[in-house]
Amino acid sequence: MEAITVRYVKSRPKLKEPILIEGLPGVGNVGKLAAEHLLDELKAKKFAEIYSKDFPPQVFVKPDGTVELVKNEFYYYKSKKSGTPDLLILTGDYQGLTTQGQYELSDSILDIAEEFGVKRIFTLGGYGLGRMIKEPGVLGAATDKKLVSEMKKFGIEFREDEPGGGIVGASGLLLGFGALRGMEGICLMGETSGYLVDPKSARAVLVILTKILGVEIDMDELELRAKEIDHIAQQIREMERIQKDKGTGEDLRYIG
Amino acid sequence: MEAITVRYVKSRPKLKEPILIEGLPGVGNVGKLAAEHLLDELKAKKFAEIYSKDFPPQVFVKPDGTVELVKNEFYYYKSKKSGTPDLLILTGDYQGLTTQGQYELSDSILDIAEEFGVKRIFTLGGYGLGRMIKEPGVLGAATDKKLVSEMKKFGIEFREDEPGGGIVGASGLLLGFGALRGMEGICLMGETSGYLVDPKSARAVLVILTKILGVEIDMDELELRAKEIDHIAQQIREMERIQKDKGTGEDLRYIG
Amino acid sequence: MEAITVRYVKSRPKLKEPILIEGLPGVGNVGKLAAEHLLDELKAKKFAEIYSKDFPPQVFVKPDGTVELVKNEFYYYKSKKSGTPDLLILTGDYQGLTTQGQYELSDSILDIAEEFGVKRIFTLGGYGLGRMIKEPGVLGAATDKKLVSEMKKFGIEFREDEPGGGIVGASGLLLGFGALRGMEGICLMGETSGYLVDPKSARAVLVILTKILGVEIDMDELELRAKEIDHIAQQIREMERIQKDKGTGEDLRYIG
Amino acid sequence: MEAITVRYVKSRPKLKEPILIEGLPGVGNVGKLAAEHLLDELKAKKFAEIYSKDFPPQVFVKPDGTVELVKNEFYYYKSKKSGTPDLLILTGDYQGLTTQGQYELSDSILDIAEEFGVKRIFTLGGYGLGRMIKEPGVLGAATDKKLVSEMKKFGIEFREDEPGGGIVGASGLLLGFGALRGMEGICLMGETSGYLVDPKSARAVLVILTKILGVEIDMDELELRAKEIDHIAQQIREMERIQKDKGTGEDLRYIG
């Protein structure tokens, strides 16, 4: 059994130099939320699934009682107006559980990207600040200086020495190894507390990404979810306040 | 050395579209107890052993002083009356210790299943409730909706959002990857506290499974073991009550 | 790079159906002590070294300032009188650090054993009792019942349900996988506290093993080391007594 | 995807029996500091990068906003005067995270060394003493006794039973496996507390190494950094003194 299995669920679509957009689980789940919202709104179509021996050995059970293997998924979107690009969108349930698994996964994703003639990659993620934030900015990192200048025009911030720990996982490796294959790449990181899933941060990332791509999508769904999360965050803060008053200090802040 | 070694201890039996039944160690050991009881009662014959580099590096010592490698085992049962199916039964000492090992093992099991022309798989397991239960129900999950409807008639429950964490290990992967090979699959999960090995839950699973298969087996042995475990559970509860009265709170509930 | 590298340091010796004796590090270091003493006394000659990616990534520095890779070593002994067998003796610095590494190592050892026409294997180890013991007995386990009977005559004890946890590591796997290759095998386990390296237990194992093999060796060196360890053990007990009297209860019993 | 990927960023330089010098991260970062200072001062040129699936799955973000894969790097230096050797210098961000990764990495490094006709290897590291030290000495270990004698003349100390734990990681494996390929090797270990990165220890190592190689380099930069670290160490000691006076005992000594 190979470390990675790619399974086409549709015949390979014909796309013109598509742009690859990656949004897998990570800090605040920002990348995954953004990628999923994008593909929902664009009605992108799934054409391939990726299984890995470094995902958890698990199936999910859906509400109708049927099971589904843990996986990553590739969607495509064919541009409807000239001037906007075709897209490959990658999202999924997990990143690799091991170091090796993360390398293998990125390598397989780039193999597929190369087959489709991808020349540019956007990887989406969250940038954890460890504190609540009202208006999340979007941090960037890119594969070359020209791209950094180009991206600054869209309001992406490039801050010296941030993120200090580099970019870990697919969002980093796809840029690094993509560049070695001649693809340029940009990582968009939405600021987030990192304590809760963060649709507001995902929205901030998508506002910029859609401007760059020249596509328009509705943000209502993300805004609704952002309000729900805001509400939950408020409840948690309230509970913390009460806990503090009582003098017991168990940490309630982290919620998967 | 391959990750998985399959060793035939008998020449390969001739079976007609056998049904694969898997019962490996897991929550409450329900699946393993059920599979072992089934193969004992049906006098199923062992024909293959599976060794894996992801099992513990260990031999067991039997009462007669001889050693036995840690392994999984394949048994077969040839149907004695028309209308009931031939069976392949898989049980064993361990599941893979690593994520990769679990994927490799399921893949090898499915290779063998495919060689025998298996079209349907039952995977057996426990569904841990974290509390004692008098009359365990049997939860199900399946590879497609038609199968869900078919199974409901046999008293298998399909509850929305249960099990919430999905199905982990061979019982999940065999369904997920079996479906990709065109085999349909059902997971039967006996409700169990998860605190003790649970023959009562295994019995509940077998009552339904044998009805589906159209075979009849004696349950006396399982019922006897269930009584023994009930007795142990009662003693534990008694000890806990005494401990509580004494005011010391060490947790005595978990027994492998 | 292969998982295991075998390097011949001498041209392959010509041996007649040699018996393989394994003594690698383990409980009380009994197996390694016994194997090393045996090869010293027999003036066995090293002919091969085994390196593994699952040994620690390390060289030792010898007193003369030169370095030495962490490894296992194969020695051979050509019988000097008719009726006693030729020997292959395996010892080394480590066993594999991972489950897979242990399987790989045993597999490579058996490959070499097979090339030499080995028909019988003795694996040597310690059986940890968790308490001090004056006169260590020697427990056995074997690959078939006939061998169990044969070994009982030499004073090896076979106790039902002991060792309860089976035999872990090379001493177990060589028997298990050796049997699959048609080699018979016996594990000799010297009783030991498991708290200290135990030359006395190694001596007990060698007394029986040399009787079986029909070779005679001097035990003085092991007896000397046993006395030293006895002395250390006594000092530790004395310290413990003092600690206890003082009412402080730190555990001083375990020494690598 | 291979475990290790070597990528040439320049056409392969023509070198005459170059000497390999390795300085990767380790105790006190002595080896990496020394190798980096050496290549800076010699204006050595990078010709190859090594990626490994056992490095963290990560890119760094540089001050200009561009990303860089985690890697090891090979530099070369062509001798400018007769009598001094050509050099290959290896440094990098990480050593392998796993045992296997460390073996794979050393094996790939030696493959490259062999292609260039390397006959002698110097591996550079720190020898952690666990206490502050004013004038760090340089300890050695080598692949054969003649080399030990040769190195003693340069002021390298060879102390019986030091380092007691052997040499772990690339600095050890390159010597061990290099010797098996017919390359002689010396490990130079600068004494260091191990608490802080230690440019002073790196300087001590380089003073000896450059004498052996017959090259001259400026040490100003290292001396400056050594002073900075001395200053930090002093501040830490001061803080510890204050903490001690206060009677709180948290350990402030370790700084990455």
Tell whether D144 lies on the interface with C, counting CB pairs under 8 A.
yes
Tell whether B2 lies on the interface with C, counting CB pairs under 8 A.
no
User: Which residues in chain C touch residue D142, judged by CB atoms under 8 angstroms apart?
Assistant: 65-67
Shortest distance, CA B209 to any CA of chain C (angstroms): 33
pLDDT in tens, A118-129: 999 999 999 999
Shortest distance, CA C62 to any CA of chain D (angstroms): 7
- Rounded to an integer, what distance in angstroms lies between the CA atom of residue B242 and that of residue A214? 71
Is residue C255 predicted with pLDDT exceeding 70?
no
User: What are the pLDDT tens digits along chain B (256 aa)?
Assistant: 899 999 999 999 999 999 999 999 999 999 999 999 999 999 999 999 999 999 999 999 999 999 999 999 999 999 988 889 999 999 999 999 999 999 999 999 999 999 999 999 999 999 999 998 889 999 999 999 999 999 999 999 999 888 888 999 999 999 999 999 999 999 999 999 988 999 999 999 999 999 999 999 999 999 999 999 989 988 988 888 888 777 654 444 444 3
pLDDT computed for residue B236 by the predictor: 86
pLDDT computed for residue D247 by the predictor: 61
CATH placement of domain A4-217? 3.40.50.10900
Could you tell me the CA-to-CA distances from C213 to B170, C84, C115, C216 in Å, in that order? 46, 6, 21, 9
Q: Of the ranges A92-96, B79-83, C219-223, D42-46, which one carries the lowest mean pLDDT score?
A: B79-83
| DSSP per-residue string spanning C120-167 | EEEEEEEEE-SS--SS--EEEEESSHHHHHHHHTTT-B--TT-STT-E
Residue C29 has what DSSP assignment?
G
Nearest residue, CB atoms, B172 vs list A51, A57, A64? A57
pLDDT computed for residue C247 by the predictor: 62
Tell whether B56 lies on the interface with C, counting CB pairs under 8 A.
yes
User: Residues of chain D whose pLDDT is less than 70?
Assistant: 247-256
Q: Could you tell me which of B118, D77, B102 has the C-alpha nearest to residue A56?
A: B102
Shortest distance, CA A80 to any CA of chain D (angstroms): 32
CATH level 3 topology of B4-219: Rossmann fold (3.40.50)
Tell whether C97 lies on the interface with D, counting CB pairs under 8 A.
yes
What is this model's ipTM?
Answer: 0.90
pLDDT computed for residue B253 by the predictor: 44
Cis status, amide bond into B25, omega within 30 of 0: no
Tell whether D11 lies on the interface with A, counting CB pairs under 8 A.
no
Average pLDDT over residues A30-48: 98
pLDDT computed for residue A199 by the predictor: 96
Type of residue at C4: I
Nearest chain C Cα to B3, which residue?
C100
The answer to whether residues D213 and D44 touch, using CB atoms and an 8 Å cutoff, is no
The answer to whether residues B79 and B28 touch, using CB atoms and an 8 Å cutoff, is no
Tell whether B28 lies on the interface with A, counting CB pairs under 8 A.
no
- Structure confidence at residue A254 as a pLDDT band (50, 70, 90): very low
User: Which residues in chain D touch residue A107, judged by CB atoms under 8 angstroms apart?
Assistant: 1
The answer to whether the Cβ–Cβ distance between A176 and D69 falls below 8 Å is yes
Shortest distance, CA C95 to any CA of chain D (angstroms): 13
Q: Report the residue of C61, C62, C98, C99 to disrupt the D interface, i.e. the one with the largest count of D CBs within 10 Å.
A: C61
Tell whether C180 lies on the interface with D, counting CB pairs under 8 A.
no
pLDDT computed for residue A247 by the predictor: 61
The answer to whether residues C167 and C174 touch, using CB atoms and an 8 Å cutoff, is no
Is residue A251 predicted with pLDDT exceeding 60?
no
SS3 sequence, chain A?
CCCEEEEECCCCCCCCCCEEEECCCCHHHHHHHHHHHHHHHCCCEEEEEEEECCCCCEEEECCCCEEEECCEEEEEECCCCCCCCCEEEEEECCCCCCHHHHHHHHHHHHHHHHHCCCCEEEEEEEEECCCCCCCCCEEEEECCHHHHHHHHCCCCECCCCCCCCCEECHHHHHHHHHHHCCCEEEEEEEEECCCCCCHHHHHHHHHHHHHHHCCCCCCHHHHHHHHHHHHHHHHHHHHHHHHHHHCCCCCCCCCC
D with C: touching (≥3 Cβ pairs within 8 Å): yes
Type of residue at A71: K
Q: Could you tell me which of C143, C255, C197 has the C-alpha nearest to residue C23?
A: C197
pLDDT in tens, C54-79: 999 999 999 999 999 999 999 999 99
- Rounded to an integer, what distance in angstroms lies between the CA atom of residue C116 and that of residue C15? 7
The answer to whether the Cβ–Cβ distance between A162 and D61 falls below 8 Å is yes
Return the structure tokens found at B24.
């490996």
User: Which residues in chain D touch residue A97, judged by CB atoms under 8 angstroms apart?
Assistant: none
Nearest chain B Cα to A67, which residue?
B143
pTM to 2 decimal places: 0.92
pLDDT in tens, C135-167: 999 999 999 999 999 999 999 999 988 888 899
pLDDT computed for residue C198 by the predictor: 95
Sign of CA dihedral B229, B232, B233, B234: positive
| D65 Rama sector, left if φ>0, alpha if ψ -120 to 50, beta otherwise | left
- Rounded to an integer, what distance in angstroms lies between the CA atom of residue D132 and that of residue A87? 58
Residue spans of the domains in chain C: they are 4-218
* Chains contacting A (3+ CB pairs below 8 angstroms): B, D
User: Which residues in chain C touch residue B69, judged by CB atoms under 8 angstroms apart?
Assistant: 173, 176-177, 180
CATH level 3 topology of C4-218: Rossmann fold (3.40.50)
- Structure confidence at residue C254 as a pLDDT band (50, 70, 90): very low
Summary mean pLDDT of chain A: 93
Shortest distance, CA D56 to any CA of chain A (angstroms): 6
- Taking the CA atoms of residue C53, residue C55, residue C58 and residue C64 in that order, the dihedral angle to the nearest 10 degrees is -120
